[in-house]
Chains A and B, each alone.
Chain A
């Protein structure tokens, strides 16, 4: 439906653009002219030829000096005279003249026709023979009468004079193809003269229709090729699914060890040399590998190796294009090709972010926590998203210890320090408490922030006091983090400190301090209530917020 509407719109646009330039006359009925916009390289002569008027007349009419060179004027008035203009009402109408329009009483109408001198009026072929013969007779009689009156010769000696060409007072069309019915032509006046535009309209329509059908044909051909390729791929996919699913459920270990286990279906065997088919098999293997573990997953890896698909993945790893390289790394990781760990490890500090991410995930997949040794060589930052992905991968492992964490906390790459703090926090590595405390004095406020957050999960008896000590030197965001941590790690010893924070300028600090006070001090609610009644806003809101939190 959309295609049909587009075609119809193009059809009308083409018809509109196919129309010729309109000549609009100006001036009075006795002094008509056409405004002509001078194009570049136009001269008086070229304009004169166009309008069938002498170039000198144009120059004179516009009070300009005539010359043969390029015109500087932008607009010229081209006078309309009997030489180049035929008025409407004058019945000397010859097809092929260009209509001239003029606005009168708010309406645009045709006042005449521009005669460019291309057509000359001639005798009509269908001029009546009777008329002709009678006119000949008249002329002969006239000559005879004259002859008689002069010399009185006999009739027999009258020489028949060749009849003069009859020039009809009313000039009609010169030939059949140019004949028009004057009555009809005189009846049809005004803006729209369909007969004159019909030819051009139909030629535009035919051209557009041909182009449209060619385009439709091309689109149809393209779609049919695509469909054929899609159906072929679907058929192949059926065979691939059959092959892989048979491999998955194979649980006989002796059989699995033999190469004859995996029989390629004939359909697949023929086309297995094709790169696309091999890629299809790899993609399906990866899909299955993501959903399965245990013996079935091992079978998939064996099938991958048996079919020689490792070569394809290695080729991708060597590619210069980052997206192909990343795909290769992903395939090798999913298919547990840990012998490729070294070339993949080199990509963990690649300048391309996506290659880096895939390589880091692959190394963690192969080596677990030990795989995180790439953090020692990493010069690029680890994005928050990548950190979440790696922590999720690590959380599936049974071991929970990060080797050389204290060295990583001293890394010059701040994102590495932050990532290490997150790992320590998530996996509750209490042994690293003192190293995390050192991070409270780090240059970077984000590192300090994450160190404060980390202490929520690995605190001891001294943590609250340490946080209290660094509080005054911290930025607002970190102060709020300290107060939130004190909510967990604080005790009654922090009550006075927290009470003082209720009177800080920042409302977020007031709220965080009030929340922490509630946890640390048993009478905190009454205390805050008193402050609220004395001071009013924002303590009333804070109290209301805390009470709501308590009821939830």
Chain B
């Protein structure tokens, strides 16, 4: 599973990257909003974790662009600081799927990510290699 992390603090970005790699995910790390938007278009991640306050483009803008674009099915987890409750509400209105308030536990974040992994539909391949959605 490909996870894109958008976080402007280098230490936090590196810590999240190492943790998620340790959990077995493929990680795309971006240290500003502009880079994150570019990478979303290029690599089509399966999950996005974004901070709210970032240079060039904020987390809210990323949420808005993703949910209004062709990638609207990508789940987004927003990282917020204390005192940003109104911004979190705004993020939810724009389509964010979950939020984590700092200070947060890495283990808790990993568990939240696993929840989204479980929710992803399983893809079955035909003998010819064409994917088919499972019958429900």
Q: Which residues of A contact B (CB under 8 A)?
A: 237, 241-242, 244-246, 248-249, 251, 284, 287-297, 392
Contact = CB atoms under 8 A, between A and B. Distances in A.
A288 B12 CA distance: 7
Interface of B: 9-12, 14-15, 17-19, 22, 82, 102-108
B107 A295 contact: yes
B15 A294 contact: no
A293 B15 contact: no
Given A246-B18, A249-B18, A294 B12 contact: no
Given A241-B14, A291-B9, A248 B106 contact: yes
Contacts of A392: 82
Contact of A294 (B9, B14, B108): B108
A291 B102 contact: yes
A284 B15 CA distance: 12
B18 A295 contact: no
Contact of A249 (B10, B22, B82, B102): B22
Given A246-B18, A296-B15, A237 B105 contact: no
A237 B9 CA distance: 12
A288 B106 contact: no
A469 B106 CA distance: 56
B11 A288 contact: yes
B102 A290 contact: yes
A245 B105 contact: no
B18 A296 contact: no
Given A249-B19, A249-B22, A297 B10 contact: no
B11 A284 contact: yes
**Interface residues of B, dominant DSSP:** helix
10 contacts: A237-B10, A246-B18, A249-B18, A291-B9, A291-B104, A292-B103, A293-B105, A294-B108, A295-B105, A296-B105
A244 B18 contact: no
Contacts, number: 59
Contacts of A237: 10
Given A245-B18, A249-B18, A294 B11 contact: no
Contacts of B11: 241, 244-245, 284, 287-288
Contacts of B106: 248-249, 292, 294-296
A287 B9 contact: yes
Nearest to B20: A249
A242 B11 CA distance: 8
A295 B22 CA distance: 15
Contacts of A287: 9, 11-12
Nearest to A238: B10
A249 B15 contact: yes
Nearest to A297: B103
Nearest to A293: B103
Nearest to A244: B11
A249 B15 CA distance: 7
A293 B100 CA distance: 12
A245 B9 CA distance: 12
A376 to B, nearest CB: 29
B108 A245 contact: no
Contact of A248 (B10, B15, B103, B108): B15
B14 A242 contact: yes
B14 A245 contact: yes
Nearest to B12: A291
A292 B100 CA distance: 11
Contacts of A241: 10-11, 14
A241 B102 CA distance: 19
A287 B12 CA distance: 9
A265 to B, nearest CB: 14
**Which residue, of A241, A287, A289, has the highest number of chain B Cβ atoms within 10 A?**
A241
Q: Which of B15, B17, B19, B103 has the most CB of A within 10 A?
A: B15
B24 to A, nearest CB: 13
A287 B22 CA distance: 22
A246 B22 CA distance: 11
Nearest to A289: B103
A291 B103 contact: yes
B98 to A, nearest CB: 17
A292 B105 contact: yes
Nearest to B102: A291
B116 to A, nearest CB: 20
Contacts of B14: 241-242, 245
A290 B103 contact: yes
A247 to B, nearest CB: 9
B119 to A, nearest CB: 24
A417 to B, nearest CB: 27
A293 B9 CA distance: 17
Nearest to B108: A294
A392 B108 CA distance: 23
A512 B16 CA distance: 53
A101 to B, nearest CB: 63
Given A248-B15, A249-B19, A294-B106, 16 more contacts: A237-B10, A241-B10, A241-B11, A244-B15, A245-B18, A246-B18, A284-B11, A287-B12, A288-B15, A291-B9, A292-B102, A292-B103, A292-B104, A295-B105, A295-B106, A296-B15
